[in-house]
Chain A
Amino acid sequence: DGGITQSPKYLFRKEGQNVTLSCEQNLNHDAMYWYRQDPGQGLRLIYYSQIVNDFQKGDIAEGYSVSREKKESFPLTVTSAQKNPTAFYLCASRRTGTSGVGEQFFGPGTRLTVL
């Protein structure tokens, strides 16, 4: 379903622990994104990356970190500094280029619960 995968599907974490969410795509897309989804608040951008070895903060980057060492991979680390990390996390990718803006493809999501 679109060639973008996230793992794990469900993740439980104790307070004070860092946790890393995986996102992989085989669509050869340059751009990748992380969103957080809470009930009634839509999709909020955490980080995005337009190209390998480069990434930018979104609206709610505090308490999160990312890396983009490979085109196919864009892992998200939820650190202990994130005050309310329990949420549904969605990764997405998009082809970029001279043809302009195009569709984003989403992964199946990871539901993180902090105990």
Chain B
Amino acid sequence: GENVEQHPSTLSVQEGDSAVIKCTYSDSASNYFPWYKQELGKRPQLIIDIRSNVGEKKDQRIAVTLNKTAKHFSLHITETQPEDSAVYFCARGNQFYFGTGTSLTVIP
């Protein structure tokens, strides 16, 4: 169907550890996969995106990997900091369809 499944729904990590959030989808025609970060009380903002012609993209401590065969893509945050605490959403395609979100807490 159209849905994007996102796991886990909540994630707590110690400061400095890595965090990984995974999303799966079913529409093989999808070719654009963005990730948004939403801090408490604020609007979602794009942090990284990937298109289907690449398998991985990095931007400093954030990376996204895409496995089109398995239809899943993941967000990786390394050396986590307390300011990384937020809700993260994945989306696919025209972004009509978002995952249900992952609440990440980084413990100092």
Q: Are B43 and A41 in contact (CB under 8 A)?
A: no
> B-side binding surface: helix, strand, loop or mixed?
loop
Could you tell me the distance in whole angstroms from the C-beta of A87 to the nearest C-beta in chain B? 14
Give the Cβ gap from A47 to chain B, nearest Cβ, in Å: 11
Bound complex: CA A42 to CA B87 (Å)? 9
Say yes or no: A45 contacts B32, CB within 8 Å. no
- Is A100 located at the chain interface by the 8 A CB criterion? yes
A27 at the interface (CB under 8 A from B): no
Interface size on B, residues (CB 8 A): 23
Determine the distance from Cα of A35 to Cα of B43 in the docked complex, in whole angstroms: 12
Min Cβ gap B60→A in Å is: 18
Those of A41-67 within 8 Å (CB) of chain B: 41-45, 48, 58-59
A108 within 8 A of B: yes
A94 and B96 within 8 A (CB)? no
Q: Contacts of B89 on A, CB cut-off 8 Å? A: 42-43
Distance of A60 from chain B, by nearest CB (Å): 12
Residue from A41, A101, A106 in contact with B44 in the complex, judged by beta carbons closer than 8 Å: A106
Q: Find chain B residues with CB under 8 A from A48 CB.
A: 96
A97 within 8 A of B: no
A92 contact set on B, CB distance < 8 A: 95
Residues of B within 8 A of A45 (CB): 96-97
Q: Is A43's CB under 8 angstroms from B43's CB?
A: no
**Contact status B43-A90, CB under 8 Å:** yes
Among B2, B46, B51, B96, max chain A CB count under 10 A is at B96
B100-A40 in contact (CB<8A)? yes
Hey, which bits of chain A sit against chain B, CB under 8 A?
1, 33, 35, 40-45, 48, 58-59, 90, 92, 94, 100-101, 103-104, 106-109
